[in-house]
Structure 1
Amino acid sequence: MNKFICNTCGVQTESAESAPEHCSICTEKRQYVSVKGQSWTTLEEMVQSAAYQNEITSEEQGLLSITTVPSFAIGQTAYLVQGENFNILWDCLTYLDAPTIEKIKALGGIDAIALSHPHYYSTQVEWAETFDAAIYIHEDDKQWVTRPSDRIIFWSGETLKVAEGFTLHRIGGHFKGAAILEWKNGDDGKGVLLTGDIVRVVADREWVSFMYSYPNFIPLPASTVERMAEQLDEIRFDRVYDAFHRIVLTDAGAAVQRSAKRYVDALNGVLFKT
């Protein structure tokens, strides 16, 4: 019996004697199946290959980024956020090995894992079992869980206070249950949002964007982006970290609002003529 991992998205399945024919995450229109075809690995195979390592980097006081080198699957960044006697892992990575475990335990371990959306579920149960942590996923994305666990807490509603200083907000968009993490004490108390790619920082770091599917270039409706912008306008934050280590360093709240307007104007045909 193996817990197979899709090589394209990095999400792990529950134990099975043979690999599934298809990855349910990748066959859905927001993701894709590799042009080389469906292929699988396991965490044990990845560790035994000695091809990967996780780099843990301090981003600011109380925030560390975790990335797998070389990049695997989607290649997202996870973040370890340190609160008052409470550490939360924002989004997750597929690769987990002994050096990573040792480093994170030295940093105080992980008390909770919170996920933005299904593309980053990866080996979340492996991480949760290793660090004795709960997993928080919005109930609207329950159908996408490929490895069930009693550690998963399916939360409901629009907000959830996970611990002092940490609040999850369901803002939808990319997925119905798509969530972001508000870290109230981040950026010297000015507030930080960790957004996965529910809110994606663009190339110049002064703007953000929103998409239904990034690899397939499917935009969100204007009305959805307007609603998301209204919800985000109610949160106090000065900085945004996205899933690919891009950061809006200052005045991120204003950047989100002007970006949402630009996006809507583009969809409505008033931003440009071409």
Structure 2
Amino acid sequence: MLRGITQCATCGVEYDAETLPSVCPVCADERQYLPPDGVQRWHQPAEAGAGISVVEVEERLFALRVDGGVGIGQEAKVLVTDHGSVMVDVPAAITAAAVEEVAKLGPMRAIIPSHPHMFGLQTAWSAALGDVPVWIARADAGWLGRTPAHRHLWDGEEEVLPGVVAAQLGGHFPGSAVVHWGGADGQGVLLSGDTIAPNPDGRTTTFMYSYPNRIPLSGAVALRVADGAARFAFDRLYGNFAGAILGGARDAVLTSAARHAAWTGGEHDDRTGPAGMPG
């Protein structure tokens, strides 16, 4: 399942081994980063030595937590429904044991990376789980370094399975997406990637063009993204790392976007001190 695949050692995104670019385009973009020494390094996935734990974070929702390996350490989620499972975001690692555990959760119906940083080893996971369709936002398809054998290009909003809807809200990337699921309790769960990122306080979110390079989205875009998410009812929100909001998440997204817009629009500049040293 790893034949023909090479990864960027920095971001973990897969590429065709025979057509490697001189530098990883994902890392060369200002939303990511090249190594400090500027040297592109490639990695063979079979040599990663990573471990993957499949952890239930709430009923019928599982996190794939990677220990070791390469890349930025994203945490994929697998939601399980009566109609099959959906993987949201993709690890930059794969092991036979993790594939076996995920397969036991039920037939995988779709793999949905929220944006190009989350492509990981998506073609390997697709093949290992039975040639699962990989949902690629049409707006972001140009970032593919390896084209999935079973690719589903999509735009806007689509129902993935009954009770599971994928929606492209943009912002971080033009095709940046979230996945809404009713949840086992019916209260609603939003798997937000980092289209909307939960903050460490567990009560607020942020909206960024680049997370590692600290480039914020404008207030107008943050409000647009939040309004797009608020079309759905959801009590809980999970990002693409370990962060989450475990109650009142829809309201938290809206109030966080308003706060973001106020700060980026200069509303609170009076809190930041004098413009310069006194003459």
User: What range is the shorter-chain TM-score in?
Assistant: over 0.9
**Residue equivalent to 1:252:** 249
- 1:116 aligns to 2:114 (yes or no): yes
Quick one: distance in 1 between partners of 2:69 and 2:195?
21
1:155-194 matches, within 5 Å, as: 155-156=154-155, 158-184=156-182, 186=183, 188-194=185-191
Q: TM-score, normalised by structure 1?
A: 0.94
Displacement of 1:55 in angstroms is 0.7
TM superposition shift of 1:272: 4.3
RMSD between aligned residues: 1.4
Residue 72 of structure 1: CA displacement? 3.3
Q: Return the alpha-carbon distance in structure 2 between the equivalents of residues 34 and 124 of structure 1.
A: 23
- Which aligned pairs between 1:11-160 and structure 2 lie closer than 5 A? 11-16=13-18, 19-36=20-37, 37-46=39-48, 51-70=49-68, 72-132=70-130, 133-156=132-155, 158-160=156-158
Read off the aligned partner of 1:122 and give its amino acid letter: G
Structure 2 unmatched ranges of 5 or more: 273-279
Answer yes or no: is 1:202 the counterpart of 2:199. Answer: yes
Residue by residue over 1:94-141, the C-alpha shift from the partner in whole angstroms, topping out at 9 and shown as x without a partner, is: 211111122112222422101100001011011111112111111111
Contact 1:111 1:131 in 2 (8 A): no
Paired with 2:96 and 2:5, the residues of 1 have a C-alpha distance of: 19
Higher strand share: 2
Offset from partner CA, 1:230-270 (integer Å, 9 cap, x none) = 21221111100001111100010110011000000001111
Task: Return structure 1 stretches of 4+ with deviation > 2 angstroms.
Answer: none
| CA shift digits 1:136-190 (9 cap, x unpaired) | 111111111110123110112x211011111001100000000000012x15101
Q: Secondary structure at the match of 1:224?
A: helix
CA distance in 2, matches of 1:155, 1:21: 29
Q: Report how many residues are paired.
A: 267
Deviation at 1:85, TM superposition (A): 2.8
Output one character per residue of 1:173-211: Cα deviation in whole Å (capped at 9) or x when no partner. 000000000012x15101000011111111111100000
Aligned equivalent of 1:215, options 194, 212, 215: 212
Residue 2 of structure 1: how far off its partner (Å): 4.0
TM-score, scaled to structure 2: 0.92
Q: Alpha-carbon deviation of 1:226?
A: 1.6
Q: Which consecutive residues of structure 1, in runs of 5 or more, have no partner in the other structure?
A: none
For residues 70 and 47 of structure 2, the distance between their equivalents in structure 1, rounded to whole angstroms, comes to: 13
Overall identity of the aligned pairs, in %: 31
